[in-house]
Each structure stands twice: as structure tokens, then as C-alpha cells.
Chains A and B, each alone.
Chain A
Amino acid sequence: MAMALDFSALAPYGGEVAAGVATTISLTAVATLVGITAASVLAWLKLNGPAGVRWGIQAYVELVRNTPFIVQLFFIFFGLPALGVSLEAWVAALIAMTMNLTAYATEIVRAGIESIGKGQLEAARVLGLSRRQTYRHVVLVPALRKIYPALTNQCIIVMLGSAVISQISVEELTWAANFIASRNFRNFEAYILATLIYLALSIGMRQLFRLAGWHFLGGRQGRPSS
């Protein structure tokens, strides 16, 4: 006979869950900010840098995109100490998350930049803008607008993917769920709770991105700028 669900058994563990959520949010926030910034630079270098740099970026992007996050995480956390680089679990997790997001975001931003018409560049040129000014004002912002939905999705994917870092004992949300399950054997309740919190986090992140986009990009994300 199946056990009845009993969510009250989770009540004593509110503290662990809250701490776990806080860790998930903090790591995601840092990875998002660093990742998008790094990706904007890498995307520019990928299009304008010297051949060697372009090749290096391409190799990095392909490596990250074609291997599982958990393997990247294990490589950084378990593998790097062999080279004398020993990292705390949360640092390894943060590096893996940032690395992952940067690779995907680089491709997304590059596609956005390439979608900016030649006419826009020529218009900036005849107005006397430098290459750097053109990139910042004429290319980057409209490009970000266009790819904003894709970028939002990718950041949410990284947040959801961070569930895996519980495997190297970072005490985030999934770790908290595992912890509860190991104490009271209420696996189903613990995982349902965690799943619902993740769902709320992804919905919340989407709203936050929408607000941020409205604020910084002028509220026209995702529509072709015609």
C-alpha cells in the first residue's frame, strides 16, 4: 500500500530549505552577471579578434556545449586538484556554472550581433562613431534586445542545472531536499517541495528579467527592431 503524502513532516527543516534557496539564488545571480558580461566580450572578440583568439573561443564554446554540466563540474572539482588547483566545492560550482553560461551566452550574443544590419553600421560610421562606440551603442543594445528571450531562457537553464552541484555537497536547494529525505525518509514530499520551489524560482526569474529588460533595454525585447 502506498504511503499517504505528509507534507507536515517537512516543517522542521524550514531552515535548511531557506538556506538552500539562498545559495541557489546567490550562485545563479553571480553566474548570470559574470557570464553575460564575459559573453559580451567574447562575442565581440569572436567576431573581431585575431584568428588565434577566435579559434580559442570557438573551441571553448564547442567543448562546453557538447559535454554535460555534471562532467564539467566533476572535472573542475575532482580533476583540477591533481594539477595542484584545489577548490572549495562552492567555488568549483560557481566556476562551472559561469563557464557554462558564458559559452552558451557567447553564441547567443554573437547571433544577435550578426543580426544587426549593415545599414546600421554604415549609419554609425558616417556619423563619426568609433568602432568601440558603435559596438556599445549601435550594436550591443539592439542585439541584446533581440536575443533577450533566448538569454533569459539560458540563465534559467543554468539555475535549474545547478541542482547538480548538490553532488559535490554544495548546500543548495537540492542538497536540502536530499538532506530531508535522508533524515525522515519522506523522499517524495521533499522532492515535490524542491520541485515546486524550482518552478517558482524559474517563473520569478522570468519576471525579474522582464522587469530588468524593461528598465535597461527600454521594454522592447524580443521584437525585431524595424
Chain B
Amino acid sequence: MMDFTLWDIVRNLLLSMRWTVVLSLIAFIGGGVVALLLTVIRLSPSRWVQWPVMAYVELFQGTPLLMQLFLAFFGLGALGIQVSAWTAATLALVLFTSAFLTDIWQGCIRAIPPGQWQGARVLGLGRLQTLHHVILPQALRLAIAPTVGFSVQVVKGTALASIIGFVELTRTGTMLNNATFKPFLIFALVALGYFLLCYPLSLYARHLEKKLNVTGSR
């Protein structure tokens, strides 16, 4: 067994953080695109269209991300579709993220007071015109802070990809621990790595929330 210096450990962890960042970005952007589609679909006045979207959100919010990862990885494998840990992790995290973002964005649209719909309606604006010119611009503003806030959950969620063998920060930590038997140091460093990624996002989300509150609803 080779000896690891502190620098070896830190360097390996830093290098593996790349994959945490890449996976987070893909999950967040991919999830955002899917959520955008679902949010638009959810705006349909028909219950039969709304219902599947609500069920989708409920399903992903009501089950563990770990199970979603297992189903994507082992489950698809059992069905004869062989997927890599990378594909399974990406798929599960994108779907997971999309469900939460759909819920957040839907909530922002619902938070716009009914008076805004009525004000537009009595001026003769149709449903889509009202959404486009009156509701969505205001909802978008409301959505920014919680969306940034949720990105922290996505980064932390990628840690579970380690369990199906995707080599990112947490997985690298476990492997280093197996090689060095310095669990206290290594998991503290792993935690620090996540903290360095997540804390700025948390601070930014809080800053946005304050800023948007101060300027009021404009």
C-alpha cells in the first residue's frame, strides 16, 4: 500500500470535486428544462392535464432520492437496459430536480394575487396574454431566490451517486479512507469541500431574497 501525504489526499479530493460540480450542473440545468416544460403543462386549465404533473411531483418528492437512483441503475439493468453509473445518476438527479423545481415554480405562480388575474381580465387580456405580460414576469422574480436555494439541495444530492459507484467527492473520500484509514480527517475534508460549494449558493440565495423583499413586489 502506498503512503498518502495530506497533500495527496487534498489533491485527490479537489480533483474529484470536478465531477460533483459537473453532475450538479447537468442535474440543475437538465432538471430546469424539464421543470419548465412541466410548469407550462401544469398551467393548462384542464384537470386531466394537470393531474399527471401533480402525480409526478408527488412521486419524486415522496420517495427517497436513493431509491430513485437504485431504480435508475439496478432497475433499468434488470429490464435489460444496461446503464452506467454516470447515466443512471444523471437521469435520477435530473428527474428529482425537475420535480422540486416544478413545485417551487408552480408555487410562485400561485402566489400572485388573484386580483392580478382579474385586473388583466377586465382589461380584455386573454389567459395566455395575462400569463405572458402580467403573471409570469412577477412569478419569475419570486422564483429566483428559492431556485438558487434549491441548487444547494442538488449539489448535496449528487453525493448519493457515490452509492451506485459514481466517482465524485464522496466516493473519492470513501476510497481514500479505505486506503489511509484516516476517516476523521478525510470526511472532515469531504464535508469542507461540499461546504465550499454550497455555502456561497446559500448566501447568494439569502442575499437575493433580502434584495427582492426590499424593493417590494416590483
Q: Which residues of A pack against B, CB within 8 Å?
A: 1-3, 62-63, 65-72, 74-75, 78-83, 156, 160-164, 166-167, 174, 177, 181, 186-188, 191-192, 194-195, 198-199, 202-203
Instruction: Count A-B contacts at CB 8 Å.
Output: 131
B186 (CB) vs chain A CBs: closest residue: A79
Least CB separation from B155: chain A residue? A68
Chain B nearest CB from A209 CB (Å) reads 14
Residue of B whose beta carbon sits closest to that of A153: B61
Question: Which one, A66, A194, A199, contacts B59 given CB within 8 A?
Answer: A199
Chain B interface secondary structure, helix, strand, loop or mixed?
helix
Knowing A69-B156, A202-B62, the reply to whether A79 touches B188 (Cβ < 8 A) is yes
Of A67, A79, A82, A202, chain B has the most CB atoms within 10 Å of the CB of A67
**Bound-complex Cα distance A71 to B70 (A):** 19
Whether A74 contacts B63 in the complex (CB less than 8 A), given A3-B79, A187-B74, comes out as no
Contact A188 B79 (CB under 8 A): yes
Interface mask (B130-165 → A, CB under 8 Å = 1, otherwise 0): 000000000000000000000010001101101100
Measured in the bound complex, the distance between the Cα atoms of B191 and A68 in whole Å is 8
B64 part of interface (Cβ distance < 8 Å): yes
B184 in contact with A195 (CB, 8 Å): no
The answer to whether A2 touches B75, judged by C-beta atoms less than 8 angstroms apart, is: no
Of B26-34, B113-121, B195-203, the segment with at least 4 beta carbons within 8 Å of chain A is: B195-203
Chain B residue nearest to A166 (CB atoms) is B66
In the complex, the answer to whether B64 meets A163 with C-beta atoms within 8 Å is yes
> Which chain B residues lie closer than 8 Å to A195 at the CB level?
63-64, 67-68, 71
In angstroms, Cα B160 to Cα A68, docked, is 9
**In angstroms, how far is the closest chain A Cβ from the Cβ of B179?**
14
Question: B75–A74 contact, CB under 8 A?
Answer: no
Q: How far is the CB of B60 from chain A (nearest CB, A)?
A: 10
24 residue pairs bridging A and B, Cβ less than 8 Å apart: A63-B195, A65-B152, A66-B199, A68-B159, A68-B160, A71-B170, A71-B187, A71-B190, A75-B187, A78-B183, A79-B184, A82-B182, A82-B183, A82-B184, A161-B64, A164-B64, A174-B67, A186-B78, A188-B79, A191-B71, A194-B67, A198-B62, A199-B63, A202-B62
B residues near A (Cβ < 8 Å) are 59, 61-68, 70-71, 74-75, 77-81, 152, 156-157, 159-160, 162-163, 170, 173-174, 177, 182-184, 186-188, 190-191, 194-195, 198-199, 202
- Taking a contact as CB atoms under 8 Å apart, the answer to whether B152 and A74 are in contact is no
B159 x A70 contact (CB < 8 A): yes
Q: How far is the CB of A68 from chain B (nearest CB, A)?
A: 4
Apart from A70-B159, A166-B66, 18 more pairs, CB < 8 Å: A3-B78, A65-B198, A68-B170, A68-B194, A69-B156, A71-B173, A72-B191, A75-B184, A160-B62, A164-B66, A164-B163, A174-B64, A187-B78, A191-B70, A195-B68, A198-B62, A198-B63, A198-B67
The reply to whether B62 and A203 contact each other, CB–CB distance below 8 Å, is yes
Do A67 and B194 form a contact, CB below 8 Å, given A74-B173, A164-B160, A174-B67? yes
| Residues on B with beta carbons closer than 8 Å to the beta carbon of A166 | 66
In the bound complex, do residue A75 and residue B188 qualify as a contact, i.e. CB atoms below 8 Å apart? Answer: yes
* CB < 8 Å neighbour of B71 from A67, A72, A192, A203: A192
User: Which residues of B are found within 8 Å of A164, using beta-carbon distances?
Assistant: 64, 66, 160, 163
Given contacts A66-B198, A67-B191, A79-B183, contact A181 B74 (CB under 8 A): yes
**Cα A191 to Cα B64 with chains together (Å):** 11
What CA separation (Å) do A199 and B57 show in the bound complex?
A: 12
